[in-house]
Amino acid sequence: MRMTLFHPHATPSPWRSALSRGYMRAKPTEADYGNGAVPSVLTIQEACAALRISKWMLYQLIRSRQLVTIKIGSRRVVPATAIQALLDRLQEEEVA
């Protein structure tokens, strides 16, 4: 019989913990922004939710330089003005 020092499932893997995936980060609520005010910058997830598109599509817009983003440290955020500019530009293209 072979003995092991530890059971492989006894300790959770660091890449499987909730902390490593950012789930424990506090999520802003509407109360944080005051009476429904829009924050000046949005996270990638918030921008996806605001535009109702997938994360893949958002990154396609960023790569094609249709959507401007800002890098703060290692985080990438989307200015609210950039989202409005994108929507205005797409609306103008559709009318023309």
Q: Is residue 12 part of a domain?
A: no
CATH number of domain containing 41: 1.10.1660
The pLDDT, as a whole number, for residue 58 is 97
At 28 the three-state DSSP class reads coil
Q: Is residue 81 part of a domain?
A: yes
- Confidence (pTM): 0.62
Number of domains observed in the structure of the chain = 1
The rounded mean pLDDT for the chain is: 79
Q: Is residue 6 part of a domain?
A: no
Tell me the two tokens of residue 67.
Answer: 């959507």
Instruction: Tell me the C-alpha distance between 48 and 43, whole Å.
Output: 9
The pLDDT, as a whole number, for residue 80 is 95
Tell me the two tokens of residue 95.
Answer: 């009318």
Q: Is residue 17 part of a domain?
A: no
Higher-pLDDT residue of 58, 7:
58
* Residues spanned by the domain of 62: 34-95
Q: Is residue 22 part of a domain?
A: no
| pLDDT (tens digit per residue) in 26-36 | 555 555 556 66
At 57 the three-state DSSP class reads helix
Q: Is residue 59 part of a domain?
A: yes
